[in-house]
Chain A
């Protein structure tokens, strides 16, 4: 046959000026979302504040200084001091480091566990899926806080332990998200093709399903981090988190609250505000990423 017509390029999709890549479009969409950009700035600020701040504004956060407790903000102590004489601004940096590290690590851990569990359940299907998802349902029915309290009552976890426990109680929601994603991806033609020519299940999951659910995973991670930071604050507020002299924002809030009736606002407002801002910021970033990645319906 001699009459091979070149495929007519589609003006709407493939043709005309070269389409910018998906990743670049996503970045552009994200940057157009003002709240998300504000969230990114807030997170960047707190990271700098907690990790670089102590180098500029160095304070003693290990020894108590009982001669200068509960001082109100002044030139020497910008945010005053707490009940054992620690500089409050320095403590905000010091506690924030713990909050951010634990929150980030626990959020990532939860998403990793949830992703693997959800992908395995969705891909396997049938009774394996049913059993795995009933376990998730059961887990969701038990309040995470309850589990945390029980565990804290039994042992006193260190930093690593806290991350592990938080990660283990909060992977349930992401596992559901990823399972749903896997259910649609596993019947894609490229996965069927791979299975038909004898590709392994591991290859299907690791090479095709997980890379294609990466946007869902990233979005889930940001929300998980926000949740984890809040959860750390809860636990520490109840006095079951990291132990003194180490602290985190939740612990600071808890300590400050005992002095609430004395009018020592500088012990309550700064850590409270920090928690609210960071949690809001991660949620805003998550929203922005979700909208940026969600290209369905845009063709």
Chain B
């Protein structure tokens, strides 16, 4: 068996093994804010992935020409321009969803995930690996958003992508929607639960203990 090519592992690593949201806990502000329904989660995930891939490509192309002292400004200008384009496209073609996403599309500019990837990878690598890495991270972020969004919509409203999956009690079914799932705290619980599950399956992701309790003995020993 041949080892997987570096590009392939650059693409697949951020999906689970190095997931930016669940391992590095980056970009969770938007991940928590837009996941009340699948539609908004998918739109946000797609917008962020597009912005991330394009900005990584552009920054990687001009990486040898960016003066180090102002590199963050350059990166933010590039990301912000792309975000404005995406925002305008969303407002033109998906007006309802862009209303629901409100300010969070514009806030992709300051998303830690975008700046993190451009600063730590695209700035130092050629365009193709940079864009593959950006795509992988965008997909990793999208994966978390879709999981959170589907859980919250399913249990908060009994729907998936607007379709009534679980019959509501008030319409003769058996399911009573959990309003908590549509409130912000549930996203924290669910994300915490996901991180817990993932780190139980892959213990190498768990952080080392910060504190070792002193050895205690029973009185009789």
Q: Are these two chains actual partners, yes or no? A: no
Which chain B residues have a beta carbon within 8 Å of chain A's beta carbons?
none
